[in-house]
Structure 1
Amino acid sequence: MTRLPVDNFIELPRYRSAHSRCTVWRVYVKASTRKTRDGQTIRYLQLAHNEWDSVAKVSRTKVLYSFGREDQLDVSGVRRLVDALSRLLDPADALAAAAPAGLSFVESRPLGGAWLLDGLWRQLGIDKIVTGLAGVRRRDVDVERVLFALVANRALKPSSKLAAAEWVCHDVHLPGLPFVTDDACYRAMDDLISVEPKLTRAVYDQIADLLNLEVDLLFFDTTSTYFELDEADEPLWRDEHGEVVDDGAPTAVKQAGFRTYGKSKDGRDDLPQVVVGMAVTRTGIPVRVWCWPGNTNDSALIRQVKTEMRDWNLARVVWVADRGFASEANRRFLQQAGGHYILGEKLRAGTTEADAALARQGRYATVTDNLQVKEVNIGADDRFVICFNPEAADRDAAVRARLVAQLTDKIDGSDKLSVTKRAELRGVISTKPGLNRYLRVTPGGLLRVDAAAVKAEQRLDGKYLLRCSDPKLSAEDIALGYKQLLEVERGWRDMKTTLDLRPVYHRREDRIRAHILLCWLGLLLIRVAETTTGRTWNKIRAEAERLHVGVFTGPAGTFCQRTELSQPHKTILARLKITEPPRIIDATPATA
């Protein structure tokens, strides 16, 4: 019996029990020989390991698998076995185990995620758009590759620009960019923001043609993102769109810092912020992003958005927005040039339209299990649709019952308190909006549960009111169209979590704007990946990042080889119509 060279050893973990530590198997290929009657020597190959016999106090060979005669070896079967064993290892260990004799395994980096994003980047033509824009050409660095690297970083491993440069240099195999500095990242961001209007328009034109985007409904919403600062930025003169202008310029309308205090949608009114807006198609594709100083009022922003997208070759568009944009001025503006809108209407505002709509009788028509609609005619120019969600109604009733119970418990026995103590209790309850909504103070200063307020809220359980200017849409289409506004909310959620819009590590206004633009490009790529494959980005990324590239060195030089493509890898790349990466990524001969 003989053993093959030590290079053929493979270490696999073997668990003794559910509660014990694992023992390492040192597996090797054993060769045994026998001679036939005619004197021919035949070799047999077996997969074996040595196992300690605690009774005899000796190490014994145990055969795990027999390959049969060496001259009749099933090579394809061996390959399948190697592939199966490789799946038990992480990509780096799998590459190291498969290293050819005489070569040293140096490192392993993820390839799949960057390869996939680069394929989408090129497929959407963003590489040519960026390269073709004047102002983004530098002799010392490939700006297009650096910008792609920053976008890929947002989608794969969000970090600061300094950390992103380290990531490119040491932690990922990025097609066409083996090395970058943080200074090159900042310069590329400066170039990006200088061509923002041309870039966003060119990208929209390209994806609208390639993806056949449906823009009959265009959803718009805003959010805010805060900064961990002690003080806001210095106020500067700005125009009505929030852009900085010279002092005394005719377009100057107000002074404001970019990072400044405002009404925070993250509940952080104590910190400076900026306001970010986004327009999204019905399939969730973000077509453009904007940002304004943190104290900008939402109400008028949709007018600016419609104006700036007027020349984007949009056909008949119905703008969809929530009740924060439903002012009369906005409604008139959105109807210009034949446009229409679907807007949320405040039910608790006590407006004439809302009260009249709720007072109308009629049956609801069931659209889905959790959506019923009823169109009401109140004699106004617009159409009004009341939407009812039975599941939401049950939740609203349960929440209200809990709040009323808490309020009852707090004010129980308060009649016996002194006037001062009762006023103190009243002040405490006033800081809790949920409880304060149902509190009533009698003329004598006594605290009571407001039965009228409870009854009024019961009428609103699970309901929301929509206003629409389009006479051709059915009530069901209006309700379903508004419900798709959730696509924007999903976009904000992914911007703030998957792409890490926050924290922002920049101080300068132009670089904050560039950072938001990079997040938008990242969101665009992952939305295209999701809508094409039918999978979430988290699952796509997790699968893609298992594809690695390993670096091997030897006397002849250095070469890079990828790991084997799994079936999920092949499926994802096929659905996205992206070519598979070559097995040998790069080969560099040794210098004499």
Structure 2
Amino acid sequence: MYVKASTRKTRDGQTIRYLQLAHNEWDPAAKASKTRVLYSFGREDQLDVAGIRRLVDALSRLLAPADALAAAAPAGLSFVESRSLGGAWLLDGLWRRLRIDTVLRPLVGSSRREVDVERVLFALVANRALAPSSKLAAADWVCQDVYLPDLPHVTDDTCYRAMDQLIEVEPALTRGVYDQIADLLNLEVDLLFFDTTSTYFELDEADEPLWRDQQGRVVAEDDPAAVKQAGFRTHGKSKDSRDDLPQVVVGMAVTRTGIPVRVWCWPGNTSDSALIRQVKTDMREWSLARVVWVADRGFASAENRRFLQQGGGHYILGEKLRAGTSEADAALARQGRYATVAENLQVKEVNIDTDDRFVICYNPEAADRDAAVRQRLIAQLTDLIDDTDRLPATKRAELRGVISTKPGLNRFLRVTPKGLLRLDQAKVKAEQRLDGKYLLRCSDPTLSAEDIALGYKQLLEVERGWRDMKTTLDLRPVFHRREDRIRAHILLCWLALLLIRVAETETGRTWTAIRTEIDRLHLGVFTGPAGTFAQRTELSQPQKALLTKLKIAEPPRIFDATPATA
């Protein structure tokens, strides 16, 4: 397919050129190639240049970015390579807009003048958000696959040295980043949500024990606070159901809008119950205004509650309904009507003789799911124990042992004094009372029951953060064995999550959709007798809209022009 030019002369002798889009086809009858005109553009001097440009842009969108650049290459130039530009440009724009670069640069400096540590750390953060990989693969990604402003080349050794500097400045970095984003994004920190997760390692053996302080930090053996504790990667209760492998515990504090403000990590055998006290102590140094801490049932111990109220603080904590505590039993026994606060949420505040307030939340949809699951479990259990009265006692004991390994079924099993297996009807009725319900404990006397319930419901933002950490950002596998570098890796994941959550909040789109759209923007490199230059693909309207919403300038059309040397 090509553009065919034909000429004609007018009566006054003027030569007029006409342009046509033509295609050569083989004529089997004539056994020759014939020209077929597909479209006539008309007179060359009256050509609709704007219309042709729109046509070329429309056709280019059907091609891969590299192919579109190659197709539009000027005559006499060779298309050398294409690199992804859009994702890195967007993230770098957010990085600079949030002033993370101005916080980080004076902290890390540069041990070698030719290496900009701030740019290397940004590259590692961008890699987590765009193409998560090991640091060795990330260095190759920077050098071969992506265009990063002011960082044409990096090595894996440079990446490791930058990570070592990052973990050294963690306290100042996290405080500085918070100060910047709190002002720029007008963060609401009246509620802070905290939760933990774990990530495991494919290891045969856990790390050797080390001397640590109460916060789990490594200290010298002669330090007054030193206690011999487990290594960093060690066995514990895994939230990924991999108790067989060593792990580390990771904690995160998130605002009500889903912005992660800080991240922590501890040895893998650290229990949840004491962690929130360390978190509050660390956050106290930030001189935050009055804060209500929101956490799930794992943090609701009496010691934690007392600690969270120090300094005028308050809490909203989940309370275990099935624990059989006096507070839970008293709350369920109280009568009263539920008030609907959302389409799938009803609340009822109950008065108990304690200083805390208790709110029972009821979700009708969750109640239906709980009932359906219970009916399925009861049917399975009934099938297992039917006609077991005729079995010998040893066989019934064996079956009892098998059922004890299945918590869902074992919950509804009752064994009579004679060893007979029965369905526990009392347990079934007790569970029916709990369908779709959960109990909240709050120390703040000024919050309404609706605010307490909706505030706790926003704890899902932390869970969404963990989900993105483990999937979109590939928190694991962690390609590090040293404790400081594992901590640095988690810090990089936090910074990446911060950037993508800001992008999602301000555009109203998921990061997956944003990344897919903006990554179509590429930078092509062309070379010819006059030299080499780099040019980006045309910005689409969706790409322009994303950059506008995020207050990021459009990348220039031409990035680099290097004349050929004689």
TM class, shorter-length: over 0.9
Q: For 2:501, which of 514, 520, 527 is the aligned residue? A: 527
1:293 corresponding residue in structure 2? 267
Q: How does 1:300-339 map to 2 (within 5 A)?
A: 300-339=274-313
**What corresponds to 2:385 in structure 1?**
411
Structure 1 match to 2:451: 477
User: 1:426-472: per-residue Cα shift (whole Å, max 9, x none)?
Assistant: 11111111111111111111111111111110000000000000000
SS at match of 2:12: coil
Q: State which drifts further: 249-258 or 95-104.
A: 249-258
Q: Which amino acid aligns with 1:357?
A: A
Taking the aligned partners of 2:76 and 2:32, their CA distance within structure 1 comes to 34
Counterparts of 1:484 and 1:351, CA distance in 2: 26
8 Å Cα contact 1:135/1:194 also seen in 2: no
Residue number among 91, 109, 118 corresponding to 1:144 in the alignment: 118
Tell whether 2:201 aligns with 1:230.
no
Deviations 1:253-293 (A, max 9, x none): 34110000000001000000000000000000000000000
The Cα offsets for residues 124-143 of structure 1, whole Å up to 9 and x where unpaired, read as 11111111115655323110
2:172 is aligned to 198
Match of 1:255 among 217, 229, 254: 229
* Counterpart position of 2:94: 120
TM-score of the aligned structures, taking structure 1 as reference length: 0.94
What is the CA deviation profile of residues 364-399 of structure 1, one whole-angstrom value per residue up to 9, with x for unaligned ones? 000111000000001111000000000000000000
- Paired residue secondary structure (2:284): coil
The answer to whether 1:489 aligns with 2:463 is yes
Q: 2:108, 2:118 within 8 Å by CA — same for their partners in 1? A: no
Alpha-carbon distance in structure 1 between the residues aligned to 2:204 and 2:372: 40
1:447 aligned partner = 421
Alignment correspondent of 2:361: 387
CA drift of 1:58 comes to 3.9
Letter in 2 for 1:459: R
- TM-aligned CA deviation for residue 34 of structure 1: 2.0
Partner letter of residue 194 of structure 2? F
Distance between the aligned counterparts of 1:84 and 1:314, measured in 2? 52
Give 1:65 deviation, angstroms.
1.6
Match of 1:106 in 2: 80
Q: Is the 8 A contact 1:190 1:514 kept in 2?
A: yes
Mapped pair 1:363 → 2:340 = no
Q: Which has the higher contact order (CA 8 A, sep 6+)?
A: 2
- The one-letter amino acid paired with 2:219 is V
User: Contact 1:221–1:488 at 8 Å: present in 2 too?
Assistant: yes
- Following the alignment from structure 2 to structure 1, what is the Cα–Cα distance between the partners of residues 6 and 388? 94
Q: Does 1:163 align with 2:137?
A: yes
Q: 1:41 aligns with which of 6, 9, 15?
A: 15
Q: Deviations over 1:518-577 (max 9, x none)?
A: 000000000111111111111111111000000000111110000000001110001111
Task: Check whether the contact 1:135–1:191 (CA below 8 A) recurs between aligned residues.
Answer: no
Letter of the aligned partner of 2:409 in structure 1?
Answer: L
Instruction: Give secondary structure in 2 for the equivalent of 1:133.
Output: helix
Cα deviation digits, residues 498-535 of structure 1 (max 9, x gap): 00001100000000000000000000000111111111
Report what 2:560 is aligned to. 586
Superposed displacement of residue 59, structure 1: 3.1
Q: How many residues align?
A: 566
The residue matched to 1:261 in structure 2 has which SS? coil
Alignment partner of 1:510 is 2:484 = yes
2:401 pairs with one of 422, 427, 445: 427
1:216 aligns with 2:200: no
- Gap regions ≥5 residues in structure 1: 1-26
The Cα of 1:56 is off from its aligned counterpart by: 4.7
C-alpha distance in structure 2 between counterparts of 1:502 and 1:212, whole Å = 32
SS in 2 for 1:591: coil
Task: State the shift of 1:421 in Å.
Answer: 1.3
| Residue 84 in structure 1 maps to residue 71 in structure 2 | no
User: C-alpha distance in 1, partners of 2:462/2:154?
Assistant: 34
In structure 1, give the amino acid aligned to 2:498: L
Query: Structure 2 vs 1, CA of residues 442 and 57 (structure 1 numbering), >3 Å: closer, same or farther?
Result: farther
Q: State percent identity of aligned pairs.
A: 85
Contact 1:385–1:479 (8 Å) recurs in 2? yes
Distance apart, 1:35 and its partner CA: 2.2
1:29 aligns with 2:3: yes
TM-score (norm 2): 0.99
User: Where does 1:455-474 land on structure 2 (aligned, <5 Å)?
Assistant: 455-474=429-448
Aligned-partner SS, 2:264: strand
Report if the CA contact (8 A) 1:234-1:257 is conserved. Answer: yes
1:242 equivalent among 216, 221, 232: 216
In 1, Cα distance between the equivalents of 2:205 and 2:181? 41
Equivalent residue, structure 2, for 1:351? 325
Q: Structure 2 vs 1, CA of residues 179 and 420 (structure 1 numbering), >3 Å: closer, same or farther?
A: same
**8 Å Cα contact 1:130/1:136 also seen in 2:** no
Instruction: Tell me the C-alpha RMSD between the 2 structures.
Output: 1.0
In 2: Cα distance, 1:492 partner to 1:381 partner: 33
